[in-house]
Amino acid sequence: MCIANCIDQAFVAHLAAPPSVQLAESMPILYFGNLEAYRRSAKRIITVAVNPSFAEFPTDDPWVRFPNGRRFWTHPPTVSADRAAYRNELDNYFEVAPSGWFKRGFEAALAGFDASYWGTATNRVLHTDLLTPIATKEQYSNREMEQHHANLEKVGVPLWHSLIDLLEPHIAVISLNRKYLKTVAGTTLGSWVPIPGFKDKKWGAAGRDYDMEHQVMKLDSGWKMDVLYCPQWQESPLSSLTNGEKAKLASCCAGKLTHF
């Protein structure tokens, strides 16, 4: 599958999502970040969560983060020029008005890999969402959403698999409920290995252990990627860790990863 096919499938998911789930105005978000800059990076790194937040389309100004995206709300891109325009909205996300979720979450942990969502590091990072590219009205974990999970994931999960096969990341940093790990693409090549050394400071000055885990996975294409699993205890990835603790990620992974 090529990127055009992935875009088409993202809009299939968008059109199939029930109105009770969708925001008043939105479009599917296949990925966040500059795809070509990511592809040129020496180390291709993606971050992974569950689905886009409703905060990506604020009620008072739904298209502030995607200034030219409104036309895709009701008219999916069906020709090359329109798909290129849609990609341009995604590629420029971090240059326009990104959500603070990314800085509160993964960004500080990426610095040790000389990586960033922004153009300030050697390696440009993309963010992806495992279960669906749809920004839903409610948090995905809310009970009201449970009845819709199967339908959203029926399209969203295979789409993510196809996208990852195209992206061929060296490292995937994942933060979501552990029950979703079985949904991650690929064949595991061994057991999950703890990466100790982190303290969750939200639990007092001494902190409690926050053990990340590492696994090598082989994608359907044959590509092998390092997967770093970060337990999700708060709304934002790694938000229970201080920036100082997050910055230790790369040093704690040294010698443990295939691609680092």
Question: pLDDT of 170-187, one tens digit each?
Answer: 999 999 888 888 888 677
Is the model's pLDDT at 225 over the cut of 60?
yes
The torsion of the CA quartet 107, 213, 235, 22, rounded to 10 degrees, works out to 90
Which of 129, 172, 132 has the alpha carbon at shortest distance from 152? 132
Overall average pLDDT of the 73-81 stretch:
94
For the stretch 80-97, pLDDT in tens is 999 999 999 999 999 999
Q: Which helix (H) or strand (E) holds 149?
A: helix 149-167
The neighbouring-strand residues paired with 212 are: 195
Higher pLDDT, 8 or 211: 8
Q: What is the pLDDT of residue 107?
A: 93
Is the model's pLDDT at 246 over the cut of 80?
yes
Number of Cβ within 10 Å of residue 81's Cβ equals: 9
For the stretch 13-31, pLDDT in tens is 999 998 889 998 999 999 9
Model confidence band, residue 202 (pLDDT cutoffs 50, 70, 90): low
Token output for 126: 């993309």
Token output for 3: 């990127």
Model confidence band, residue 204 (pLDDT cutoffs 50, 70, 90): low
CB 248 within 8 A of CB 222: no
Phi, psi at 233, each rounded to 5°: -110, -15
Higher pLDDT, 72 or 149: 72
CA separation for the pair 255, 140 (Å, rounded): 35
Model confidence band, residue 79 (pLDDT cutoffs 50, 70, 90): very high
DSSP one-letter code for 177? -
Kindly report which listed range (98-102, 114-118, 194-198, 217-221) carries the lowest average pLDDT score.
194-198
Is the model's pLDDT at 188 over the cut of 90?
no
Residues present in the chain in total:
260
Token output for 31: 């990925």
CB 174 within 8 A of CB 166: no
Token output for 182: 């079985």
Is the model's pLDDT at 205 over the cut of 60?
no
CB 152 within 8 A of CB 13: yes
DSSP-derived pairing of the beta strands 171-174 and 45-49: parallel
Mean of the per-residue pLDDT values of the chain? 90
CA separation for the pair 164, 184 (Å, rounded): 10
pTM for the whole structure: 0.93
Higher pLDDT, 109 or 139: 109
Is the model's pLDDT at 232 over the cut of 90?
no
